Amino acid sequence: MKLLFERSVSGRRSDLLGSCDVEYAALPEEFARKNPPALPEMSEVDVSRHYTELNQQVHGVNSGFYPLGSCTMKYNPRVDEDMAALQGFTGIHPLAPKDAVQGCQEVLDTAAGYLCEITGMDGMTFQPAAGAHGEFTGVMLIKQYHEKRGDSARKKIIVPDSAHGTNPATAVMCGFEVVNIPSAPNGCIDLEALQAVLGDDTAGLMLTNPNTVGIFDENILEITRLVHEAGGLCYYDGANLNAVMGIVRPGDMGFDCIHLNLHKTFATPHGGGGPGACAVGCKEFLKEFLPHSALMEGGDSIQVRSFSGNFLVVVRALTYLLTLGREGVPEAARNAVLNANYLMEQIKGTFVPAFDRVCMHEFVLDLSSYKKETGVSALDVAKSLIDYGMHPPTMYFPLIVHEALMLEPTETESKETLDEAAAVFRKLYELGFRDPEFMHNAPHNAPIGRPDEVQASRKPVLRWKKEQ
């Protein structure tokens, strides 16, 4: 499809913008641009069609099933958007005097209170703009804690090999050395491997529980005890809290600080690069290091962003929590777990789960033996799903499973949708034996086939350049 710039016709106008109702101010010469900006010139209907066409090129939660494991692509109720669009929330300025934005402050405080209750934490900040940014914030709290105690020997962060890639990256960004530990055969933490690396140089452990293979680590209390005994702190990657919210609290599992992706579990749509927000929570003894909501001088607190973060994302999260209520939050979690187990059971018998046991909100299929038999890879299956109106699952993650497909149906899907999805998986399983070639070339009905992924990541074209 054509870009806006390519559709532009010189002199064409639409009246989307009203005329300017304030006086023009003269810019000093040095700041004035020399050439007019190369903005597209279009009529309103062309703009409208352009964005509709763009919309039709992508697969969103509103177009069909989207079981992208670890990403929680669930339906976000419209009421959350309605609340975030209220003028009292959208029309504020970060430098507005405090007494003019008390309502907004109440939103932040109430949301923080609820999330503290859900996670078992004592303090919460919404300053970070995304999950990885939140990890950075949380691990910096750990760093501050050790440094303020004058314990400069603690230079290592332990990360299991099943971790989300952002965990080791975060530890390095914060100036730590990463110690990788292998998972036990059941996908959980290997206690002996953990004990072997704990010591006076341990700053902390980063863990996701349920982990990235969708399994709840039953040794969690022992794990956090061992880390604490060694003098380290425990960081909980709660990017996706869908399986446990309202049921079990990271704070009770022994974690000292956590992050939650509001744009995964708490009602902000994501995946298109729009603003997310991350809640970072901590226990009482770390609160003094939490970022302040406004820029302040001094103290031991860290700053990771200006002001209060992406405030409207917090409005959505609070609306979501208020509409679900005390009963609805754990019910959503239970349904997320139920849906994942239901789908796994429906697929079983064809593709093989990597770990054949009750899962949490997501599960991983291991297609390595299927690939040996048919030549059809996890990538081929993922691409084939597109032709059936499904978004592919997460592929080749976690790294501990080869030919991995990771499915997270989420709690918002109906039984009918799950049955249809399972039927497609079973059909594709058969097709791999009959016509592997067809699957190697999938998708057959999508706007694009198989982009060159290496080229796209090594030489990304991120900017349109006007032809001279």
Ligand X SMILES: *Cc1c(COP(=O)(O)O)cnc(C)c1O
User: Whole-angstrom Cα distance, residue 340 to residue 465?
Assistant: 45
Nearest to 285 by CA among 263, 257, 327, 308: 257
Q: Tell whether residue 130 is a contact of ligand X (CB under 6 A).
A: yes
314 binds ligand X (CB under 6 A): no
Query: Cβ 175 to ligand X, closest distance in Å?
Result: 19
Q: Kindly state whether residue 164 participates in binding ligand X, applying the rule CB under 6 A.
A: yes
* Site for ligand X contains 319 (CB under 6 A): no
Going by the DSSP 8-state scheme, the letter that residue 285 receives in this structure is: G
Say how many C-beta atoms besides its own lie within 10 A of residue 226's C-beta: 20
What is the greatest pairwise CA distance in the chain? 73
Using rule CB under 6 A, residue 394 touches ligand X: no
Instruction: Name the one range near ligand X by CB under 6 A: 221-229, 234-242, 392-400, 446-454.
Output: 234-242
Stretch of 60-68, 124-132, 220-228, 404-412 lying at the interface with ligand X (CB under 6 A): 124-132
* Residue from the set 137, 261, 293, 384 that interacts with ligand X by CB under 6 A: 261
**Contact status: 237 vs ligand X (CB under 6 A):** yes
Burial of 29 (0-12, 13-18, 19+ CB in 10 A): exposed
Using the rule CB under 6 A, is 132 a contact of ligand X? yes
Residues paired with residue 238 on neighbouring β-strands, in sequence order: 260
Structure tokens at 376: 């059809």
Task: Judge whether 424 and 388 are in contact, CB under 8 Å.
Answer: yes
Per CB under 6 A, does 410 bind ligand X? no
Is residue 265 near ligand X by the rule CB under 6 A?
no
Among the listed residues 67, 131, 281, 409, the single contact to ligand X using CB under 6 A: 131
Q: Does 383 bind ligand X (CB under 6 A)?
A: no
Residue 277, SS3? Answer: coil
Residue closer to ligand X, measured from CB, 237 or 403: 237
Read off the tokens for 300: 């031991």
Site for ligand X, residues 437 to 456, rule: CB under 6 A: none
Compute the least distance from the CB of residue 131 to ligand X, in Å: 2
Contacts with ligand X in 3-22 (CB under 6 A)? none
* 96 SS3 class: coil
- Interface with ligand X includes 367 (CB under 6 A)? no
Of 168 and 432, nearer to ligand X (C-beta) is 168
Helix axes 415-434, 378-386, angle to 10 degrees: 120
Nearest residue to the partner ligand X, using Cβ: 131
| 240, 319, 339, 374: residue in contact with ligand X (rule CB under 6 A) | 240
Q: Does 166 bind ligand X (CB under 6 A)?
A: yes
Convert residues 271-290 into a mask of x (bound to ligand X by CB under 6 A) and - (unbound).
-----x--------------
- Please say which residue, 183 or 208, places its beta carbon nearer to ligand X: 208
Distances (CA, A) of 174 to 67, 136, 155, 252, 468: 32, 7, 10, 26, 44
Considering just the CA atoms, what is the radius of gyration of the chain in Å?
25
Does 395 interact with ligand X (rule: CB under 6 A)?
A: no
Q: How far is CA 413 from the centre of its chain?
A: 19
Using CB under 6 A as the binding rule, whether residue 260 contacts ligand X is answered as no
Which range, of 12-20, 30-38, 129-137, 356-364, touches ligand X by CB under 6 A? Answer: 129-137
Assigned token pair, 215: 């399994």
Question: Shortest approach of ligand X to residue 323 CB, angstroms?
Answer: 23
Contact 278, 261 (CB under 8 A): yes
Distance from C-alpha of 111 to C-alpha of 314, rounded to nearest angstrom? 7
> Are 106 and 273 contacting, i.e. CB atoms less than 8 angstroms apart?
no
User: Does 107 contact ligand X by CB under 6 A?
Assistant: no
Task: Please report, as ranges, the residues that interact with ligand X according to CB under 6 A.
Answer: 70, 130-132, 164, 166, 208, 237, 239-240, 261, 276
